[in-house]
A = this chain, B = another copy of it.
Amino acid sequence: MKKYSEMSREELLDLKKDLDRQFEEIKAQGLSLDMSRGKPGADQLDLSMGMMDVLSSGTDLKCETGVDCRNYGVPDGIPEAKRLLGEMSEVDPDHIIIYGNSSLNVMFDSIARSMTHGVMGHTPWCKLDKVKFLCPVPGYDRHFKITEFFGIEMINVPMTENGPDMDMVEKLVSEDEAIKGIWCVPKYSNPQGYTYSKETVERFARLKPAAPDFRIYWDNAYSIHHLYDDNQDFLVEILGECVKAGNPDLVYKFTSTSKVSFPGSGIAAVAASRANLEDFRKYMQIQTIGHDKLNQLRHVRFFKDLKGLHEHMRKHAALIRPKFEMVLNILDSELSGLGIGDWTKPHGGYFISFESMEGCAKAIVAKAKEAGVVMTGAGATYPYGKDPKDSNIRIAPTYPTLEELEKAAQIFVVCVKLASVEKLLG
């Protein structure tokens, strides 16, 4: 296998001719495939259909303290839901608030609250000249959209296999009082599938931010989303680490069942120190009379406990593991040794992160689109949609069927090759 960069101009031109032909053949098929969003496939959703049966007109709809879940009340969540999402978050239920159907919404509201009301009594951010956030990159586009929406300046921090570059994080947060937060997907990160190392978590917990209202936005979206039984990543629990480090208020931890049960019809939770939760509650009790307790009950009755959640996630893994492996196999067999791309091999989560040659990501995604395969937009994994090297592409293998995915991955590698050749030809 010869590296593209070592090929002569003639070799590249020959290769291009062949790739152009392949590309035209693909286009002629008029395909319509989607590898763009981290959506579960229909077969995964079928796994939770039993949840549609656990509550019926014959069911007792009281929670364990006897409160009728059909009526107003218990704004911060029924006890059994706090316990379930507490177990999932590895946090005491006393440190949990149960929210509605979307943890992203809770993160958004946390920023909105900080803008108008400040964090634990500190100046509301909307009264400050400048507010900044650290953004490990590549990262989750919807995080970056929130901070962009509120006019918060975003600073890129490079990701490594062990998490964000902590030297840079420590230096920046200790020096700049305008830095109020950092977005983290600490386990099976979006898009790489990396899990922050023990050292990274400990260094996070020991941060000494210049801003007293600095918070780590710890979006533990994939805490139980393993692909393998025997090859799992482990993440150190950060709330406990923060307490140990004397920084109990440093972190907001978010979780949800969105890719456990039904996306959009799940339940979300935040875990934090009592003082932080007091901030959340002050806002929440004005914002709403309460969340959907019947859906909380539905989740608890279906999953029962952490064991039930893990059993359920093993069924998800059985369905999506072959998809990840198929994509990785195609990348391996088609691109290895060519020097035109690298990619991650995650043990969980929803994504594979692909790094093309510099300046090729947009071209690859455009070609894929032309060939009938929708990818996440190039640049989306960076703040403001600006990937400085134009090289990162997020691959989301879960939504298509295995058959569709195979086609999509094969088209993708042709697009990578073609864009790389064109780049080298100049």
Spell out A's residues near B (CB within 8 Å): 37, 39-40, 42, 45, 48-50, 52-53, 55-57, 59, 61, 68-73, 100-102, 104-105, 108-109, 112, 115-117, 124, 126-127, 142, 145-146, 149-150, 262-265, 283, 286-295
- CA–CA, A126 to B115, complex, Å? 9
- Note all chain B residues with C-beta closer than 8 A to A109: 287
Instruction: Find out whether the CB atom of B286 lies under 8 angstroms from the CB atom of A72.
Output: no
Instruction: Find out whether the CB atom of B71 lies under 8 angstroms from the CB atom of A291.
Output: no
CB distance from A290 to the nearest CB of B (A): 5
Instruction: Find out whether the CB atom of B104 lies under 8 angstroms from the CB atom of A289.
Output: yes
This protein's copies in its complex: 2
Instruction: Find out whether the CB atom of A264 lies under 8 angstroms from the CB atom of B286.
Output: no
A264 touches which one: B45, B287, B292 (CB < 8 A)?
B292
A116 touches which one: B112, B142, B295 (CB < 8 A)?
B112
CB distance from A55 to the nearest CB of B (A): 5
- CA–CA, A423 to B236, complex, Å? 65
Instruction: Find out whether the CB atom of B68 lies under 8 angstroms from the CB atom of A57.
Output: no
Sampled A-B contacts (16; CB under 8 Å) = A52-B57, A52-B59, A70-B265, A100-B100, A100-B292, A101-B292, A102-B289, A102-B290, A104-B289, A116-B116, A142-B289, A149-B286, A263-B289, A264-B292, A264-B293, A295-B295
- Note all chain B residues with C-beta closer than 8 A to A105: 287-288
- Note all chain B residues with C-beta closer than 8 A to A108: 286-288
Nearest opposing residue in chain B for A74, CB measure? B264
Instruction: Find out whether the CB atom of B42 lies under 8 angstroms from the CB atom of A52.
Output: no
Instruction: Find out whether the CB atom of A294 lies under 8 angstroms from the CB atom of B68.
Output: no
CB distance from A71 to the nearest CB of B (A): 6
Instruction: Find out whether the CB atom of A295 lies under 8 angstroms from the CB atom of B265.
Output: yes
- Note all chain B residues with C-beta closer than 8 A to A69: 265
- CA–CA, A341 to B73, complex, Å? 32
- CA–CA, A102 to B45, complex, Å? 26
CB distance from A303 to the nearest CB of B (A): 15
- CA–CA, A39 to B71, complex, Å? 7
Q: A50-B57, A263-B72, A286-B149 are in contact. Are A101 and B102 (CB under 8 A)?
A: no
Instruction: Find out whether the CB atom of B104 lies under 8 angstroms from the CB atom of A71.
Output: no
Q: A105-B287, A286-B146 are in contact. Are A264 and B71 (CB under 8 A)?
A: yes
Instruction: Find out whether the CB atom of A70 lies under 8 angstroms from the CB atom of B45.
Output: yes
Given A70-B262, A105-B288, 17 additional A-B pairs, CB 8 A: A39-B71, A42-B68, A49-B57, A69-B265, A71-B263, A100-B100, A104-B287, A104-B288, A104-B289, A105-B287, A126-B127, A142-B286, A146-B287, A149-B283, A264-B289, A264-B292, A265-B292
CB distance from A51 to the nearest CB of B (A): 8
CB distance from A273 to the nearest CB of B (A): 22
Q: A45-B70, A101-B292, A264-B71 are in contact. Are A286 and B52 (CB under 8 A)?
A: no
